[in-house]
Amino acid sequence: MGYFPNGTEGMLYEEEYCDRCLHQDECPVWLAHLLYSYRDCNHDSSILHLLIPKLQLSNGQCLMFVDKGLLSNLALQKFKSDSAANRAAIRAEMEKAND
């Protein structure tokens, strides 16, 4: 799994992958690693090992990585619009369930 023992390694990974990724905003993979990497680093069954694989001494490319530079502006706008609509629908369902 992607394990970042210090802030510098995490920032370098973000520069290499996250800053160029379509999923950068509100990325569930990065959030899961921030929250659970310390707890799960010694558990081979953790899904974190699958999402950002460890390659000997470095961290591999995230399995959800999509280079946003390869998409047209129209496709990028549609993705962001669809993502925002999906988040709004999920929030509405959660609020409805809590009422």
For the chain, the structural domain boundaries read: 1-66, 70-99
pLDDT of residue 52: 92
Interval 63-97: pLDDT, tens: 999 898 887 777 767 777 777 777 777 777 778 87
Predicted model pTM = 0.67
Interval 36-65: pLDDT, tens: 988 888 888 888 888 998 888 888 999 999
Interval 5-20: pLDDT, tens: 788 988 999 999 999 9
- CB count, 10 Å around CB of 49? 16
pLDDT of residue 20: 93
pLDDT of residue 78: 75
In three-state form (DSSP H/G/I as H, E/B as E, the rest C), the secondary structure along the chain is CCCCCCHHHHHHHHHHCHHHECCCCCCHHHHHHHHHHHHHCCCCCCCHHHHCCEECCEECCCCCCCEHHHCCHHHHHHHHHHHHHHHHHHHHHHHHHHC
Closest CA to 18 of 5, 1, 31: 31
pLDDT of residue 68: 86
